[in-house]
Structure 1
Amino acid sequence: MSKSIVVLGAGPGLGQAVAHRHAREGWTVALVARRQEPLDRLAAQLTGAGARAHVIVADLADTGGVPELAGRIRAAVGDPDVLYYGAAADGFVPVLDLTPRHALDLLPLGLSTLLALTGEFLPAMLTRGSGAILSAQGASALHGNPHIAGGVILAAQRNYLQALHAAVAGRGVFVGGLYVGAAIEHTPFHARLEASRAAGEPVPDIPTVDPAHLADLLWSMHDTAGPPEVTYP
């Protein structure tokens, strides 16, 4: 039986690249996101290349729906070998405008749903002595950014992943985070950046990156049980 990965947040850019990267290795892929049509297109690309792909439509902001979502994932691929979490709410709010309400609104996607999913799938990974839990988020998880104050929630997620990595060390399960300080091509953020640049408007001085390169980094992290944190650039 082929190994399986659940791509949670299988949107344009990195989520799709992670799906393609694992499909090329012969893995079965479960794709989870809110909208059916883009998932169907991605699944058709994967199956057209010979992979097995399953579409699961779900709102990851609904932490209370995780038990039902976990059941649908198990029905499709069993207990997955790798859980990839790339979902995050829009944290592009100036720090002077951040309110308690806004921070709470960012919490489900930024932390709570990942906690719930880990509770569902980590026990099986520990029982068999293999598996991985991966996340990819913005570099605001590492350094406070006055323009991306929502990074405070991602920083909490990073702290959780660090603690989880330490808790399962030596038990065959890899926990890691990729932190990206670049505009990922083929994403809405990259498109807005390029449109602003073309219009002569000021834009942040940040690099761009091909999502396929980031997907390779994530693959190497769990395939080689490398460092638990990788940053780009």
Structure 2
Amino acid sequence: MSTIAIVGAGPGLGLAIARVFGQEGFAVALISRTQSRLDELARTLRDEGIEARGFAGDVMDRDSLAAALTAAKETFGSIDVLEFSPAPHAPVPGLEMVGALDLTVESMAPQLEFYLYSAIAAVREVLPEMLERESGTLLFTTGGGSISPNPMMGNINAASAALRNWAVNLNGALADSGVHAAYIAINLLIDSGPEKAAAAAIAPLYWTAHRDRQTAEYIYALDAD
């Protein structure tokens, strides 16, 4: 059985992606900070007939993240798809939004750790085995500010753009390896009301990115086809 690891798993988009892949026969490794919440999500998926388990790991603690991914590999045997989409759902000290005009090195550094460095750390845990198997998919998600920046979100947008740049470059470097990388920019507020903004409407795009491998970048917005 193939396995998807979802880093940043929560009850919105993460759960919706888990359902899409689970319905395609994947086992699901859920990774975020709080084990009790992961256990609840895993129970929901298992009740729907999807094999799932949660592994606590904090993207701001690289050792913790590595341990969670290692435990997932030991449990399921391999990770065939890594989906990386951490997003703070409540104010987190040190991750405050700072506008472009007020940006400092001190306010930029935590965002780079959150979005870019943790993604690099996660990939280092799964990519060697993917390259050995000559198969695998790496999917990265942030908001649309990486492409259409908002001055109020100066530090977040810059870190997201750095992740976008690396993900697209990574896909180029992986050409002919059997491993595909893709970046997905979600340029809307998830579950904000419109049907197209629902997590369940967005999640199938991840299966498309994994299956079709036609491009290294996708933009999801209300006015996009």
How does the TM-score come out when normalised to structure 2? 0.89
Deviations 1:176-220 (A, max 9, x none): 0110110101xxxx5xxx8xxxxxxxxxxx996011121101110
Residues 1:87 and 2:86 are matched in the alignment? yes
Per the TM alignment, residue 127 of structure 1 is displaced from its structure 2 partner at its CA by 1.1
**SS of aligned partner of 1:177:** strand
Contact 2:116 2:159 in 1 (8 A): yes
Q: Percent identity?
A: 32
- 1:141-180, aligned counterparts within 5 Å? 141-149=146-154, 150-180=156-186
1:215 aligns with 2:218: no
Q: Residue 154 of structure 1: CA displacement?
A: 0.8
Distance 1:85 1:114 in 2: 7
Q: Contact (CA 8 Å) 2:84, 2:119: kept in 1 or not?
A: yes
Alpha-carbon distance in 1 for matches of 2:23, 2:199:
15
**CA 1:58 to 1:228, structure 2 compared with 1: closer, same or farther past 3 Å?**
same
**For 2:15 and 2:68, how far apart are their aligned partners in 1?**
20
Partner of 2:114: 109
Distance in 1 of aligned mates of 2:195 and 2:201: 13
Q: How far apart in 2 are the matches of 1:93 and 1:76?
A: 40
Measure the CA separation in 2 of the matches of 1:48 and 1:68.
27
Number of equivalenced pairs: 214
Q: What letter is aligned with 2:6?
A: V
Q: Does 1:136 align with 2:141?
A: yes
1:135–1:91 CA distance, 2 compared to 1 (3 A): farther
Which letter does structure 2 place at the counterpart of 1:93? V
- Match of 1:184, SS state, is coil
Out of 114, 117, 123, the position equivalent to 1:118 is 123
Residue 231 of structure 1 is matched in structure 2 by 219
Contact 1:176–1:229, Cα closer than 8 Å, also in 2: yes
Structure 1 residue matching 2:118: 3-state secondary structure = helix
Displacement of 1:163? 1.1
CA RMSD of aligned residues (A): 1.9
Task: Say which SS state the counterpart of residue 209 (structure 2) adopts.
Answer: helix
Query: Partners in 1 of 2:66 and 2:141 — Cα distance?
Result: 23
Residues 91 and 175 of structure 1, relative CA distance in 2, 3 Å threshold? farther
Match of 2:103 in 1: 98
Secondary structure at the aligned position of 1:45 is classed as: helix
Letter matched to residue 226 of structure 1: Q
Structure 2 Cα separation of the partners of residues 227 and 14 of structure 1: 21
- SS of 1:147's equivalent? helix
Moved more, 50-59 or 92-101: 92-101
In structure 2, C-alpha distance between the alignment counterparts of 1:211 and 1:52, rounded to whole Å: 20
Residues 46-78 of structure 1: CA deviation (Å, up to 9, x unaligned): 111111111101111112434323321222222
